[in-house]
């Protein structure tokens, strides 16, 4: 009887208060997965997305058919967009409200003649042009059969030769980029490098790692990012933080207590800076995505970041890059066992690095040492990623010339006689040319050359210059990143503030 009374009460509530009460009882609607764009954000979003394809819905907010279609569009968008996407980084699902006067020119560019209207094509084609219905040779196409979620997804599957389903669940179906041994996969890793860079600084703020003794190591790492990060927007964002660092976090002549109180203020101020742009972090991984929710991801992205910077430094910068990376991992990597293991490898290096090749090969060798250790641990605990098992890298199929010979040890591991010159050539091509040239092809690298650290810092074993904040703020206000880099270099040569950065102090 009580159950009947309860059910009647619920029905009465719904009948009295309408659909809004029903929504409260069933919980809030999930956030929109499709990305709302306008005339200002459209080109930038389509130009910088890692997705290979885009679907853009042109609609009007006053249109009843558009309102009724939105739940269908969102069902498909949730498969591809946002941190909970099942198949992230493949298709960008976006929408533009043509009823807003600010979007009139944008909607005219794409000859919007009815609502809702769906267009499909490569994102750069949207960013660089428009569409006309009778245009013969164009990569942008109208979707005429997408009036329900099922029909829209079927249309997409036919175009891509895929088998996506509205019932797909995360990490349990088709896995994008499952063959990590395919050299072409590194082409998409730059987006994961941006994700890892942003995540690293979020971790620093979240776990309150900005302390008086970690200020100099962070500045040096920012200098390395400004000079050699593969992503221009990460170089620019790092420069913004570096330029304002003295104002965000004053250091000179302050007591320890005064410094620590300023750390909190600086931390809050730093939250307003987006080191790789406002659209990063995206909340998902592409090249570094694991087949399970708790594998790969950030650690993979951080390794790719370190390798990609190592092949970009010059000979005179190799020692600085080495100590800077070691300091950063020691002070800011949250995994204690991994941090300590990396520190031990850094501390075992007795000679200075004078050549880029020596540093690149040390980092590669250190990564393989880590992989060999994790291979054993994951095998004994059954915690590895079945689709991405740890391996000695690169595998022979990727670089046959890297292998002189190989043999099995008594414990079952493989011992390789490496041709280190060939390994170096492979690493430069893989983490440098392949990654960066693909990024340039997407229009995100506009040909500006990397800033040389040799002009920015003293590469002595004991000291490193730190930046001037106030003066550089004027330079950055010009919005010319090249001018900022040049100005910074010229001022750095005369900078008189130095901080010890020997490995003895990490």
Q: What is the pLDDT of residues 467-485, one digit of tens each?
A: 333 233 323 433 334 444 4
- 49-53, 276-280, 417-421, 442-446: which has the minimum mean pLDDT? 442-446
Determine the Cα–Cα distance for residues 424 and 356; give it in Å rounded to an integer: 10
Residue 112 lies inside a defined structural domain of this protein: yes
Using an 8 Å Cβ cutoff, are 322 and 464 in contact? no
**Strand stretches in 336-493, DSSP E:** 403-408, 414-418, 463-465
Is there a single domain that holds both residue 88 and residue 228? no
pLDDT tops 90 at residue 57: yes
Do 98 and 190 reside in the same domain of the chain? no
From 6, 16, 66, 300, the catalytic residue: 66
Please report whether residue 463 resides in a domain.
no
For residue 96, which phi and psi values (nearest 5 degrees)? -135, 130
- Listed residues 405, 423, 447: the one ending a domain: 447
Q: Are residues 116 and 198 in the same domain?
A: no
Q: Is the bond leading into 499 cis (omega within 30 degrees of zero)?
A: no
CB neighbour list of residue 305: distance below 8 Å, 6 or more residues apart:
193, 196, 197, 229
Q: Please report the pLDDT score of residue 306 as a whole number.
A: 97
Min mean pLDDT across 94-98, 230-234, 422-426, 498-502 is at 498-502
Worst-scoring range by mean pLDDT, 225-229, 324-328, 414-418? 414-418
- The answer to whether residues 112 and 258 belong to one domain is no
- Where is average pLDDT lowest: 306-315, 333-342, 403-412, 413-422? 403-412
Task: Check if 66 is active-site.
Answer: yes
Looking at the fold, whether 109 and 18 belong to one and the same domain comes out as no
453 in any annotated domain: no
DSSP H helical segments within 139-255, as ranges? Answer: 149-160, 189-206, 215-228, 232-243, 245-248
Same domain, 11 and 123: no
User: What interhelical angle do 189-206 and 256-270 show, nearest 10?
Assistant: 140
pLDDT of residue 381: 80
Q: Are residues 296 and 311 in the same domain?
A: yes
* Crossing angle of helices 336-347 and 318-332, rounded to 10°: 150
Domains identified in the chain, total number: 3
What is the spatial distance between Cα 226 and Cα 125, in angstroms, rounded to a whole number? 30
Are 22 and 46 part of one and the same domain? no
Q: Tell me the residue range of the domain where 68 lies.
A: 35-160
As a whole number, mean pLDDT of residues 450-463 equals: 34
Q: Is residue 505 part of a domain?
A: no
Residue 438 pLDDT exceeds 70: no
Is 144 contained in some domain?
yes
Residues 394 and 262 in one domain: yes
pLDDT digits (tens, 9 = 90+) for 280-325: 887 888 888 887 777 888 999 999 999 999 999 999 999 999 999 9
State yes or no: pLDDT of 364 exceeds 90.
Answer: yes
pLDDT, position 50: 82
Residues 303 and 429 in one domain: yes
Question: What is the rounded CA–CA span in Å between residue 368 and residue 384?
Answer: 16
Q: What is the 3-state secondary structure (H, E, C) of 44-62?
A: HHHHHCCCCEEEEEEECCC
- What CATH number did the domain enclosing 244 receive? 1.20.120.310
Mean pLDDT in residue range 169-196: 64
Q: Do 148 and 190 reside in the same domain of the chain?
A: no
Q: Is 346 annotated as catalytic?
A: no
- 434: its two tokens: 């392949």
pLDDT beyond 90 at 465? no
In a domain, 191, yes or no: yes
Q: How far apart are CA 125 and CA 137, in angstroms?
A: 12
Average pLDDT over residues 196-222: 87
Is 467 a member of any domain?
no
Cβ(297)–Cβ(288) below 8 Å: yes
d(CA 249, CA 464): 18
E strands, 433-501, in order? 463-465, 498-500
Query: In terms of domains, do 244 and 118 share one?
Result: no
At a CB cut-off of 8 Å and minimum separation 6, what does 13 contact? 21, 25
CATH number, domain with residue 44: 3.40.30.10
Q: Is residue 497 part of a domain?
A: no
Specify the pairing of strand 91-97 against strand 35-37.
parallel
CB 185 within 8 A of CB 296: no
């Amino acid at each position: 009887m009580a159950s009947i009374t309860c059910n009647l009460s619920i029905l009465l509530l719904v009948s009295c208060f309408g659909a809004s009460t029903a929504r409260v009882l069933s919980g809030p609607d999930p956030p929109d997965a499709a990305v709302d764009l306008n005339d200002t954000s459209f080109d930038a979003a389509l130009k910088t997305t890692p997705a290979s394809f885009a679907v853009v819905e042109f609609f009007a907010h006053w249109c009843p058919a558009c309102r009724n279609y939105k739940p269908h569009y969102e069902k498909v968008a949730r498969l591809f967009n946002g941190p909970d996407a099942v198949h992230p980084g493949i298709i960008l699902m976006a929408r533009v409200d043509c009823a807003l006067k600010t979007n009139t020119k944008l909607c005219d560019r794409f000859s919007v003649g009815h609502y809702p209207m769906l267009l499909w094509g490569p994102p750069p084609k949207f960013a660089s042009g428009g569409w006309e219905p009778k245009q013969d040779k164009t990569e942008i196409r109208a979707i005429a059969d997408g009036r329900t979620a099922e029909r829209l997804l079927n249309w997409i599957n036919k175009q891509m030769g895929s088998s996506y389903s509205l019932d797909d669940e995360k990490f349990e179906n088709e896995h994008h980029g499952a063959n990590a041994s395919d050299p072409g996969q590194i082409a998409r890793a730059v987006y994961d490098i941006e994700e890892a860079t942003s995540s690293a600084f979020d971790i620093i703020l979240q776990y309150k790692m900005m302390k008086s003794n970690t200020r100099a190591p962070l500045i040096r790492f920012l200098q390395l990012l400004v000079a050699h990060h593969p992503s221009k927007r990460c170089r620019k964002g790092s420069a913004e933080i570096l330029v304002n660092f003295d104002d965000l976090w004053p250091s000179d002549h302050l007591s320890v207590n005064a410094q620590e109180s300023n750390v909190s203020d600086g931390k809050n101020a730093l939250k307003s800076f987006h080191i790789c742009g406002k659209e990063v972090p995206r909340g998902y991984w592409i090249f570094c995505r694991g087949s399970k929710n708790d594998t790969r991801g950030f650690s993979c992205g951080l390794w790719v970041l370190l390798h990609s910077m190592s092949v970009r430094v010059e000979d005179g910068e190799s020692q600085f890059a080495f100590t800077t990376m070691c300091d950063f991992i020691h002070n800011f990597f949250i995994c204690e066992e991994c941090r300590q293991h990396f520190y031990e490898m850094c501390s075992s290096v007795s000679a200075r690095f004078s050549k880029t090749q020596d540093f690149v090969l040390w980092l590669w060798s250190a990564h393989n040492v880590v992989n060999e250790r994790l291979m054993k641990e994951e095998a004994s605990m059954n915690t590895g990623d079945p689709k991405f098992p740890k391996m000695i890298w690169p595998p022979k199929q990727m670089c046959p010339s890297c292998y002189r010979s190989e043999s099995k040890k008594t414990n079952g591991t493989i011992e390789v006689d490496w041709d280190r010159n060939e390994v170096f050539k492979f690493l430069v091509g893989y983490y440098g040319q392949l990654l960066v040239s693909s990024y340039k092809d997407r229009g995100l690298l506009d040909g500006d050359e990397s800033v040389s650290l040799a002009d920015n810092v003293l590469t002595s074993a004991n000291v490193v210059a730190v930046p001037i904040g106030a003066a550089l703020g004027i330079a950055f206000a010009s919005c010319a990143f090249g001018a900022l880099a040049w100005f910074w270099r010229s001022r750095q040569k005369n900078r008189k503030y130095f901080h010890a950065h020997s490995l003895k102090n990490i």
